[in-house]
Amino acid sequence: MEIDLADLGFWRRPLKERYEAFARLRDLDLPVFFEEKRVPLLRSGGGFYALVRHADVVEAGRNARVFSSEPGVTSPEPPGWVKRVFGESMVNMDDPRHARLRRIVSRAFSPKMLSTLQGDINAACARIVDDAVAAGPGDFVAQIASRLPIHVICDMMGVPDEMRARVHEQVDVSTAYSGVRPSLPRSVGMAVQNTVALLALQRLVIKLGRDRARTPRGDLVSALVTANVDGERLTDRELGSFFTLLLVAGNETARNTMAHGLKLLTDNPGQRRLLTDDFDARIGGAIEEMVRHVSPIMQFRRTVTEDYDLRGLRLKAGDKVVLFYGSANRDDSVFPDADRFDITRDAKPHVGFGGPGPHFCLGANLARQEIRAMFRELLTRLPEIRSVGEPELLVSNFDNSVRRQAYTF
């Protein structure tokens, strides 16, 4: 099997074939360079070195001074018009700008803030499962996995109930754009849809922010647009960018882990029994193993800022590297028998939340909280719940997204 990670056709291959390809790349002495072709509407990055070993991904993630998130972390890199239209996302920033924004928004994910959400998360899980029982078996993603993260984020931000269906719709449009597109007309059409969807989300939260600036309430938007004790707050554009990042990244991580997780528990009945025999003792390890196995976000790109030696490879300033989290999480040198799903293993070194360093996922603990609550509700009330058949995946080089997963109970 020929391996070309820059070829969008590679990302149409079944997951098993892709994991086998990454295993072959990990066996090579040095990171492999892949030449990129020009992608319509997006920059041509010229090419990148693929970091596929766990140690290389961790090293690049920790050293943000050399491995920069600017000008962009997606592959291909976003063109200049994206920043002009949407503002700049904190995932595409380095310190000190990144540190400033992270300091402001991190208040949303403090242990104190997350503890106040637990009751609402539990209640939301109960309502979602009530609805699923009433509707009967169907699509696990639409009925269960996609509903909880959006609900929690909208609650945190103070988005009114009447706006939430629209928010969910726009997020789905944005997620679809991260998939592999077959033609220039399709790329253009989806780019337009994606732009309209993201702008709609930003306009919604900016309008909400201006209202909260005049009349603050107890929600996150109020906290982000009113100055705290250090005099720091988000501008309109920063608030809009943060909201879209939170919706897309926060939604996809929890949603995809839950959807893939049900499939993993179905295909591994022994592991499922271990979990249900002592849920409280084992759910923490089960979540980490699910995230390791799934790698909800499969890759991020970095730009080298100065000449640097990476395990004998001499990188030059301006070179591009791509951190393949899904490959790092299958590295047998860190996770013995890595393709096996084992909730008793120590999966904590995984990089499913972006790995160590300044860009570690801010919402990791919130995602864990949501996944824990939902599986508790499902396995308690629907003990026979299981996936049916294979999931329908989004064809993407970025997002390990489940579009549909049939299930029964």
DSSP reduced 3-state for 175: helix
* Chain mean position to CA 269: 27
Q: Is 390 left (phi over 0), alpha (psi -120 to 50) or beta?
A: beta
Q: Which residues contact 19 (CB under 8 A, 6 or more apart)?
A: 326, 330, 339
Local structure of residue 362 (DSSP, 8 states): T
305 in a structural domain:
yes
Phi and psi at 85, nearest 5°, equal -80, -45
* Distance between CA atoms of residues 346 and 17, nearest Å: 26
* Distance between CA atoms of residues 213 and 221, nearest Å: 9
* Distance between CA atoms of residues 7 and 5, nearest Å: 5
DSSP H helical ranges for 63-110: 80-86, 97-105
3 in a structural domain:
no
pLDDT digits (tens, 9 = 90+) for 72-116: 887 766 666 555 555 577 888 889 888 888 888 887 788 888 898
pLDDT, position 238: 86
* Distance between CA atoms of residues 84 and 224, nearest Å: 22
Residue located via tokens 């990129």: 36
Local structure of residue 79 (DSSP, 8 states): P
**CATH value at residue 181:** 1.10.630.10
pLDDT digits (tens, 9 = 90+) for 132-160: 999 999 999 999 999 999 899 888 888 88
Show the domain range for 99.
8-408
| Residue 404: strand pairing partners | 392
231 in a structural domain:
yes
365 in a structural domain:
yes
2 in a structural domain:
no
pLDDT, position 407: 98
Of the spans 25-39, 69-83, 309-323, which averages the highest pLDDT? Answer: 309-323
pTM of the model: 0.89
123 in a structural domain:
yes
- Overall domain count for the chain: 1
pLDDT, position 242: 85
Out of 39-43, 55-59, 147-151, 250-254, which region has the weakest mean confidence (pLDDT)? 39-43
The upper half-sphere exposure of residue 272, i.e. CA atoms within 13 Å in the direction of its Cβ, equals: 18
Diameter of the chain measured on Cα atoms:
60
Band the pLDDT of 360: cuts 50, 70, 90.
Answer: very high
The residue type of 256 is N
267 in a structural domain:
yes
Tokens of 391: 């999931």
